[in-house]
Chain A
Amino acid sequence: MYSFTPTEEQQMLLDAVRRYAEQDLRPAARDADEKSEFPPGLIEKGWELGILQASIPEEFDGFGDYSALTGVLAAEIMAYGDLSSAFAVMTPNLFALPIFFSGSEDQKKEYLPAVIAAEWKPYTAAMIEPSFNFDPGELSTTAVLKGDSYLISGEKTYVPFAQEAEMILVYANLDGETQGFIISRDTKGVSIGERQKTLGIHACPLYPITLDKVKIPLNQRLNGAEGHDQKSILASYQVALSAMAVGVAQAAFEYARDYAKEREVFGVKVAQKQAIAFMIAEMGTEIEAIRLLAWEAAWMLDEGKEEAGRHAYLAYNGAIDMVMMVTDQAVQILGGHGYIREHPVEMWMRNGRGFAAFTGLAMV
């Protein structure tokens, strides 16, 4: 049976996330982007909404059951508030969820309560690599088994909060497979570079990491020496990013729509011109279409459907183009004003362009 209505429980959570997105994230977003810094307490407040905590079962100190769909619904609204902050609030997901999906029982017991019980802490992950040819399925960073440990070498980039990270989940290529390794930031051979400067998401602190023959015991590999399947992790990135692209696009769409209804031109409102009205109609249609793709893929993941991975990929594929089109059109609708940093649309356009490069920055 089809249904497009969230449960009451989901709706309560979403209402809380929406209040946070509208009342906390949105007002702080521009300043945070200009200063490349979040105001104190902002990220912690988002963490206290308990989105991740509610998706981890009680046995690991959480208070709910995992649902990709709930995660997707929340991530959209969070990104609607502000993408940088959404990435920051959700950074511990990058560490905790792969352990929850694929980790050994020991790893779950050791790390999950530590991540979710207390206040927000920078547990993070290093996936992305500094190459145009970066492919999460074929990493350049390598892991080699040597005796009773792995040696990890390579370059990582866009690692959120690496500088202050408690622990980092590093992905490396082990015999052709992408595998995760749980690494303490202080391990010998790990060096964290200068904070990176990017086109968008300025407030979110991203760092490059160099790994030089970093020695890791076997039990620090995700799921131990047995290893793990990367599929659920990849699908989780894809649905999270799809939903967040929808959130960014929705923000830009609403802003442009409201502006077009206010702004006068040739004696009518801008929105009364078909050229503009059609852009708005197309933006609205594409956003809703990709939103449904993201929801469906997340639902398939929760239901364990065989085709879930492919649909997560399709949603992500559609989302990359949709968010660029919508944010670009939003700037266009505002005309010259869209280009001025007084309005947020240029920021959303910069943020929107990133989605093709963000595989590794968000999970639900």
Chain B
Amino acid sequence: MISFEMPKPLVQTRRVVETVAENMMRPISREMDENEHEIPWAYIQFMHTATKAMGSSSMVAEDPPKEKKEDPKKKKYPPINYQRLMVMVEMLSWGDAGIYLCTPGGMLGAAAVGAAGTPEQKKLFLSRFQGKEPVFDAMAMTEPEAGSDTSAIRTTAVLDEKTNEWILNGEKIFVTAGNKALIDSKGFIVVWASLDLKAGRAGIRSFVIEADTPGCKVTKMEEKLGIRASDTVSVVMQDCRVPFENLLGSPTIEKSTKGYKSAMQTFDATRPIVAASALGVARAALEFVLEKLNEEEITIRYGLPRQKMTNLEREIIDMETQLRAAWLLTVKALWMADNKKSNALIASMSKVKAGKVATNITQKAVEVMGPLGYSREYLLEKWFRDAKINDIFEGTGQINLLVVARNILGYRGSQLR
């Protein structure tokens, strides 16, 4: 039966995370933005402690409803892990998208391990998030000459059969939280490299490089338009040796691109999560506008035919419509992920839509608020800068549109370039 009722445990999650966003993020939002690369340790420590206290990967334990306790045929609660992540990410990004990206314990790198790793690898690499100190992880894919075209990556991995180690060489750029993963904590990054450059996509694999691995250096910290609390770094690997078991997935190169494809499948889960982040920023901007209008005693009249609306009403109502539409696409994409339904199409749709909507809403919000929107006294101009990243990372809007198009048309990459 079709239903849009948010699962009960998530309503609670939402409330808890909202408190965090309000109290630990918003108050330092401006300061973190003005002092790029400063690390929000108080937030990080809090999130680490809170996540640990709740056990496993969730902030909020699922309390079974009390009245059903005596029922021996108690139904198992359907899977909602991705949906929970969406609720958290949306709310944390509503708090501050840059600080959200400093959340310890299981971001994109962990997602890759979760998607492509064996049970042993998951244990080996993911258990560190439960330790005493907060630990970070990152995904290193982009290279100076390979952005969205990941098949063009030039980083190589060669097996040293004597020591059974992989030797990695190459340079990665735009690694989100790379500094925190490698320098500020004993974390890891997941690096995409080629086993055989001639094999193209079929030769690409992902490798875990842990902090303090010799031959792996952070060489540059980028200065950015927005999300300034989050570090974005370059990583150089020079004869960097990692154990054989740090390869995620199969080491044999088959003719097919199965390995590459399974790595790309990580995106089916992570793209809607990026969408959720975009939606959080957009909601923050929209709520700010509504609050300011409310202070001026301007009410938005819902239900009018278009010719009777003021321009402002039209703008606000369109923002609300688009925000909700993008939100629903994202919910459906993650509901499908939780229920193990193939969601490549709608996952990219949600990313396209949310990236565009967040960019539009924050831009429009600055516009309609005039001098208030442009002023650094308020956070609106910051959200305008923060939102834009969602249309770029985890696949630009255009790349995601290409993915949507290929899915709709049933085309391979060679048929629709």
Contacts and interface: CB of A to CB of B under 8 A. Distances in A.
B377 interface: no
A240 B311 CA distance: 26
A109 B398 CA distance: 57
Interface stretch (A168-176, A186-194, A307-315): A307-315
B299 interface: no
Interface in B306-356: 306-308, 317-318, 320-322, 324-326, 328-329, 331-332, 335-336, 346, 349, 352-353
B307 A133 contact: yes
A209 B325 CA distance: 38
B221 interface: no
B328 to A, nearest CB: 4
A185 B317 CA distance: 39
A117 B346 CA distance: 42
B303 A284 contact: no
Contacts of B308: 133, 135
Interface in A238-292: 257, 260-261, 271-272, 274, 277-278, 280-282, 284-286, 288-290, 292
A99 to B, nearest CB: 22
Determine the main DSSP class of B at the interface with A: helix
Nearest to A268: B415
B321 A317 contact: yes
Contacts of A3: 1-3, 335
Contacts of B401: 278, 281-282
Query: Most B CB atoms within 10 A — which of A134, A284, A309?
Result: A284
Contact of A281 (B3, B5, B302, B405): B405
Interface in B94-139: none
B328 A7 contact: no
B304 interface: yes
A285 B2 contact: no
Given A4-B332, A257-B409, A310 B302 contact: yes
A278 B401 CA distance: 6
B331 A271 contact: no
Contacts of B332: 2, 4, 292
Interface in A1-36: 1-7
B296 to A, nearest CB: 21
B352 A4 contact: no
Interface residues of B, number: 46
A295 interface: yes
B352 A281 contact: yes
Interface in A65-90: 69
Say what secondary structure dominates the interface of chain A: helix
A360 B337 CA distance: 39
A286 B303 CA distance: 22
Given A5-B1, A295-B4, A277 B349 contact: no
Q: Which 10 A-B pairs have the closest CB atoms?
A: A289-B325, A292-B328, A277-B405, A281-B405, A281-B404, A318-B321, A285-B349, A314-B321, A296-B4, A281-B401
Interface of A: 1-7, 69, 132-137, 234, 257, 260-261, 271-272, 274, 277-278, 280-282, 284-286, 288-290, 292-293, 295-296, 299-300, 303, 309-311, 313-315, 317-318, 320, 356, 359
Interface of B: 1-7, 78, 83, 302-308, 317-318, 320-322, 324-326, 328-329, 331-332, 335-336, 346, 349, 352-353, 398, 401-402, 404-406, 408-409, 411, 415-417
20 contacts: A2-B4, A3-B335, A4-B335, A5-B1, A135-B304, A135-B308, A137-B303, A257-B409, A278-B405, A280-B405, A285-B329, A286-B353, A292-B328, A296-B4, A299-B2, A311-B324, A313-B302, A318-B322, A318-B325, A356-B305
